[in-house]
A and B are shown apart, each in its own frame.
Chain A
C-alpha cells in the first residue's frame, strides 16, 4: 500500500517540527526571543558581510624570520669563539641559500669547538615565546634547528626543515595570543583569530567602524630597543656604518640616518616591559608613551645608563629612531618614556601594542576586506526582500502549474525551507549574503523534486494505471532520478566549500545543506502529504 506506517510517519513529522522549532528564533524579534526562548535556540549568526566588520589575513614574513634567526646564530658563534673556546676564525657570515659558514684558522681547533657548536644547532629558546612550541608535539625547544657540516676547517650550518617549521609554528601561536590581546584592548566583541595554512593568520573582527586603525595595530611588530649611539655619525647620505654599528632612519626625518651600536653591552631590549601607558610630557605637554621594565630589564637599563652618563642613545621602534636623548643621570627606577612627536591616537596605539608585547616575527597584510555596518544592513534587507519575493513567486507559479498538487508542493517547499534554516541555525552556521542567495536558489531548485514526481505520476496515469498505482509508481521511479540529479549539484557544492573563504563558503554551505534537506523532504515529507490526501479522499483520478 502507498500508506506510510505510523513508525515512519512520526519521525518524519518530528524532523519537520525540529526544523520549525530551530528556525523560529530567526522569525521573532530579539527582545521576545531573549525573554521566552531557551538558550539552545539561537538565530543564524550573521557573517561579516551582513553585520559589518573586518577580515584580515596576515602572513609571517618568512624571509625576514629566517634571516633574523641566522643573524642570531652568527652572533652566538662569534660569542662562542671569542669568549667560550677562544679560537681564531675567518669568514663568519651568512652565505646565499640561508647558510651560515665559518673557517677556523687552525684545523686542530675543530675538535675543540664542535661540542660547543653542537649546542647551537638545538633550538634553545626555552624562555620567551619558544615555550609555546612544546605543545606542538615535535620541534620547539630542544628540537634540531640546524644541520652542521664540517669540511676540513670549514663549518657550516643550514636549516632543518621540520625544526624551522616548528619554530614558525610556535611563533604563530605566540602571535595569535598577542594579536588577541591587542584586539581585546580595542574593546571589540568576539574577534576570531586563527592560524591558516603554514604561515598565515586570519583575523575577523565583527562590527568595527575604524578598520584602518585595527590594521595598523595588527601590523605593528612593536620591537623596541634602546641602543647607544656610535661615536661617529654619518655626515652625508648612503654612508656605511662602522663595524658593530647599524643605521636606522630617524622618525622626524627618514632621510637622515643614525648610527647605533649593536654589541650586547650597548643594547637593552624592550621585551622586558611590564606596562606601558600613553601620557603627556610635563614640560611641553606633548603626547608621550611611558613604560615600565620588569626587574631584569630594569637592572639592564640601569646598568646601561649608569655607565654611559653624558652619552646619547636611541629609542628604536621597528627599525626607526623615535627619539635620541642624551643620558642625564642613571635611570634606576625601571621606567622611562618615549617621545617622538606623536599625535594622541598614535601614542594610545603605541602604548597598546607595547603592552601586548613585540611580535616574534614580522607580519604583512596580504588580504583585507572590510564592510561598513550600513552596507551590511542594506544587504540584510535586500536579501530578505529577495527571499520573500522569490518565495512568493515560486509558490504562485507552482499553484498555477499544478493547482491541488501545487499546494502539496508548496507545503513541502515551506517544510524544506524550515528544515534548511533550522539545520543551519542548529549547526551555528554563519549566514552570509551569498548564503542567502544559496537559500533562494535552493527554493527554486527544490521545486524540481516535486515536478519530477508529479510529471512521472501524470505519465503513469496517462499510460493507463489507476490513480493509486500511478502515484505509487510515480514516486518510486522519480526518486532515483531525483537522487542522481541532486548528487551532481552536491558535488559542485563540496568543491566550492573546499575553494571558498568567508562569504563563498557560506554559499557552499547553504547550497549543500539545501540539497540534503531537499532530497530528504522529497523522499519523506512530500510522500507523506500525498499519502494523507489519498487516504482522506480516495481519488478516482489523479488531478494532474
Chain B
C-alpha cells in the first residue's frame, strides 16, 4: 500500500557484534577528551573567566587589523578580536582588568572612546571576577546534579544495571562534547552548559526508550540470551531512533543556519550532542547492559503486559 518508504521496515542488524569495537573506540575517545581538556583546555568565555565582551558593527567592512591596533594601544592586557557573522560585525574580548570591578567599566569607556561614535555597539557584557567564579561553580554543579538526578530516576524506574549503563553513556556524551570544544576552541560559556544539560536530557531520552524495550523483551522472552535480546530491541527501535533524531536535527540545523550568530555555539553543541547521544544509546548504553548483566529480578506484571502470551 504504502510504497514511499525511505526507511526499511524491518532490520536485523547485529549491533552487539560491533559493541566491543565501539566501546573500545569510545573509551579511547573519552580518554583523549580528558587529555585534551587538561592540555589544550577549554576556551572559556567571559561567563566563566570574567572579562568584557563587546560586539560592534562598523559602517563598512571592518578592518580587524586596524581595530586591533587601536585597542592594543589602550594596554588592556589580553585582547581578542574576531569576525562575528557578517564582515561588518566584530567581537572584541578583553581579559578581566586588575584592580576590582570599577576598572572593568573604565576599560569599556576607554574602548568606546577609542573607537568613537562611527561604530555601533550591539552588545556589551562585563562579568566581574566574583560572578564568573560563581557561574563556573554553578555550571559544574548543575551538570553533576542533572546526571545524578536522572541516575536516581533510572534506578527507580529500572534496575541498577540500567542506571549505571545510562550514566556511563551520558558521561561519555558530556566528555566527548568537552573534547570537541577543546579541539575546536569554540567559546565555552553559560549557553554551552545549557546545551550540555539538554543533551543529558535528550541522550537519556534515547537510552530510556531502548532500555524500556530491552526490559519488555527480557520479560517476554525469558529463554533468549541477553545479547540477542539487546540486538532485537535495538532493531525494533531503530526506525524510531532515526526518525526522532532526524526531526530533532532538522530543527537544530534550521536554528544553526538561520538562528543568528548569537545562538550558533549553543546549536552546534546540541547538534553534536544529538549525534553523539544517538550513537551512544545504541553502541554504549546497550552493550553496557552486557557488562553489568541486566536482568529482571522479579517479573513484575505491569499494565499492558498483564495478559501477554508469547
Q: Do A and B come from one complex?
A: yes
* Residues of A that sit less than 8 Å from B by CB: 49, 57, 59, 211-212, 215, 219, 364-372, 374-375, 378-379, 382-383, 385-387, 389-390, 393-394, 397-398, 400-401, 403, 433-434, 436-437, 440-441, 443-445, 447-448, 451-452, 455, 458-459, 462, 473, 476-477, 480-481, 484-493, 495-496, 498-500, 503-504, 507-508, 511, 541, 543-544
Evaluate contact between A437 and B122: CB separation under 8 angstroms.
Answer: no
Residue contact A511 to B198, C-beta cutoff 8 Å: yes
Within the complex, what minimum Cβ distance (angstroms) separates A481 from chain B? 5
**Could you tell me the distance in whole angstroms from the C-beta of A371 to the nearest C-beta in chain B?**
5
Stretch at the interface among B15-23, B24-32, B235-243, B283-291: B235-243
**Is B297 part of the binding interface, using a Cβ–Cβ cutoff of 8 Å?**
no
| A455: min CB distance to chain B, Å | 5
- A374 engages B124 (CB within 8 Å): no
Residue in B120, B154, B213, B246 with the greatest tally of chain A CB atoms within 10 Å = B246
Asked if B246 and A397 make an inter-chain contact with CB atoms under 8 angstroms apart, the answer reads: yes
- Cα–Cα, bound, A476→B307 (Å): 14
Identify B124's interface contact among A368, A403, A473, A491, CB under 8 A. Answer: A368
Instruction: Point out the residues of chain B lying under 8 angstroms from A383, CB to CB.
Output: 259-260, 263
Complex CA distance for A437 and B262, rounded to whole angstroms? 11
Question: Given that A372-B123, A487-B153, A492-B198 are known contacts, is A447 also in contact with B243, CB under 8 Å in the complex?
Answer: yes
Q: Name which residue of chain B comes closest to A445, CB basis.
A: B248
Q: How far is the CA of A485 from the CA of B57 in the complex (A)?
A: 44
Q: Do the beta carbons of B125 and A369 come within 8 Å of each other?
A: yes
Interchain nearest-CB distance for B89 vs A (Å): 9
Residues of the A chain whose Cβ atoms lie less than 8 Å from the Cβ of B146: 491-492, 495-496
How far apart sit A375 and B89, CA to CA, in the bound complex (Å)?
Answer: 11
List chain A residues, Cβ under 8 A from B255.
386, 390, 437, 440-441
- How far is B51's CA from A368's CA once the two chains are assembled, in angstroms? 11
Is the beta-carbon distance between B120 and A367 smaller than 8 angstroms?
A: no
A-B contact pairs, 17 of them (CB 8 A): A367-B126, A368-B125, A368-B126, A370-B124, A375-B55, A375-B122, A382-B260, A382-B263, A386-B255, A389-B258, A440-B254, A441-B251, A451-B240, A480-B212, A481-B208, A488-B201, A489-B205
| B128 interface hit (Cβ, 8 Å) | yes
Query: How many residues does chain B have at the interface if contact means C-beta atoms less than 8 Å apart?
Result: 83
Interface mask (B243-273 → A, CB under 8 Å = 1, otherwise 0): 1101111111111011110110011001000
Contacts of A495 in B (CB 8 A): 142, 145-146, 149, 197
Instruction: Specify which of A451, A459, A499 is in contact with B193 (CB 8 Å cutoff).
Output: A499
C-alpha spacing A385/B124, complex, angstroms: 25
A399, B74: Cα distance in complex, Å: 58
**Which of A211, A212, A385, A485 is the one whose CB lies under 8 Å from B205?**
A485
Residues A212 and B150 in contact, CB atoms below 8 Å apart: no
The 7 closest A-B pairs by CB, nearest first: A444-B251, A492-B201, A489-B201, A382-B260, A390-B254, A444-B248, A386-B259
Q: A397-B247, A543-B1 are in contact. Are A366 and B131 (CB under 8 A)?
A: yes
- Known pairs A386-B259, A447-B247; A492 contacts B200 (CB<8 A): yes
Is B38's CB within 8 Å of the partner chain A? no
Q: Hey, which chain A residues are within 8 Å of B202, CB to CB? A: 445, 489
Q: Is B61 an interface residue (CB 8 A)?
A: no
Contact: A364 with B100, CB < 8 Å?
yes
Contact of A484 with B157 in the complex, beta carbons under 8 Å: yes
* Residue B204 at the chain A interface, CB threshold 8 Å: yes
On whether A489 and B252 interact (CB within 8 A), knowing A382-B260, A383-B259, A433-B260, the answer reads: no
Do residues A452 and B263 form an inter-chain contact, with CB atoms below 8 A?
Answer: no
State in angstroms the CA–CA spacing of A387 and B257 once bound together.
11
Determine if A434 and B191 form an interchain contact, defined as CB atoms under 8 angstroms apart.
yes
The reply to whether B204 and A488 form a contact with Cβ atoms under 8 Å apart is yes
Q: Given the interface contacts A437-B266, A486-B205, does A445 sit within 8 Å of B124 by beta carbon?
A: no
Q: Which residue of A lies closest to B56 (CB)?
A: A372
Determine how close the nearest CB of chain B comes to the CB of A56; give it in whole angstroms.
Answer: 9
Partner of B212, one of A458, A481, A504: A481
Q: Which residues of B contact A484 (CB under 8 A)?
A: 157, 208-209, 212
| A462 CA to B236 CA, complexed, in Å | 12
Which of A374, A436, A441, A488 makes the CB contact (< 8 A) with B150?
A488
Give chain A residues whose Cβ lies under 8 Å from the Cβ of B205.
Answer: 445, 448, 485-486, 488-489
* Chain B residues whose C-beta falls within 8 Å of the C-beta of A462 in the assembled complex: 9-10
Given contacts A371-B122, A462-B10, 16 further A-B contacts (CB under 8 A): A212-B109, A212-B112, A366-B101, A366-B131, A383-B260, A385-B258, A393-B251, A400-B4, A434-B263, A443-B251, A448-B248, A481-B208, A489-B202, A492-B150, A499-B197, A500-B194
